[in-house]
Amino acid sequence: MDISGLTNIFATSMYGALALVALWGIYCVTMVWARVAQKRFRSEAQQDAFLEAVEEPLERGDFEEASELCESDPRALPQLAYLAIENREIGYSQVKQLVVERFQRDVLADLDHRISWINTVIKGAPMVGLLGTVTGMMGAFAKLATADKVDAGAMANDISLALITTALGLVIAIPLTFALNSINIRIRKMEDLVAVGLTRFMGSLREAIATETMHELEEVGVISE
């Protein structure tokens, strides 16, 4: 088989590669979108309703009930609240640091890892398309070099087909870019909402811990009622 045939086969295989890249990009976007939806409250009103429900048992010093309200909720704030309640014995400052580190590691870092795959697809799809175009052009010119008579129409058709892979790469990358920007906006909104919720919750938890400590000191007789 001559070089023209080999380059044509390789260029044609780029269509399959682009299809796989597109499917992987769609899968990654879907997974990240679902992950963000799983970790965030849809509105500040929903988050406030959750915080009010948790603050009620905290005011009574019922940490077990507050913990149960948070444990089964997969969203970021309830899970962080559960972590804080379960580790309250280490002190308020340490709990606050623990919660922030866990949010960064388990939520934001996980999303960053998933987003990195979308960025890879956005950068890689045009490159795969360009590779298909280059090999297609190589095949077209190799055919031209060995032809006894140049057929301008056939030559233009070969070049047109070669350029399709670059166009497909851009068709894949451009929508994914818009989708990624939308995801990043949702993540920033989630961060802001979680930060507001954590500030409120940690204030309530600090008061509950202080009250619990005071009651413990009263019980051992360190301070009088």
The predicted-structure confidence for 209-221, as pLDDT tens digits, reads as follows: 888 777 665 665 5
* Whole-number pLDDT of residue 196: 94
Q: What are phi and psi of 154, to 5 degrees?
A: -65, -40
* Whole-number pLDDT of residue 138: 79
Residue 172 in contact with residue 25, Cβ under 8 Å?
yes
Q: Give the rounded distance of the alpha carbon of 91 from its chain centre.
A: 32
Residue 129 in contact with residue 166, Cβ under 8 Å?
yes
pLDDT-derived band at 89 (thresholds 50, 70, 90) equals: confident
CB neighbour burial string for 133-147, b if at least 16 within 10 angstroms, e if fewer: bbbbbbbbbbbeeee
Kindly list the domain boundaries of the chain, sorted by start residue: 3-210
Tell me: pLDDT of 58 over 70.
yes
Q: Which of 86-95, 133-142, 163-172 has the lowest mean pLDDT?
A: 133-142
* Whole-number pLDDT of residue 35: 93
Q: List the structure tokens of 132.
A: 């298909």
* Whole-number pLDDT of residue 152: 66
* Whole-number pLDDT of residue 137: 81
Residue-wise pLDDT for 91-150, tens only, equals 888 999 999 999 999 899 999 999 999 999 999 999 999 988 888 787 777 777 776 666
pLDDT-derived band at 78 (thresholds 50, 70, 90) equals: very high
Q: In terms of pLDDT, which residue wins out, 113 or 4?
A: 113
Collapsed DSSP state (helix, strand, coil) of residue 62: coil
pLDDT-derived band at 160 (thresholds 50, 70, 90) equals: confident
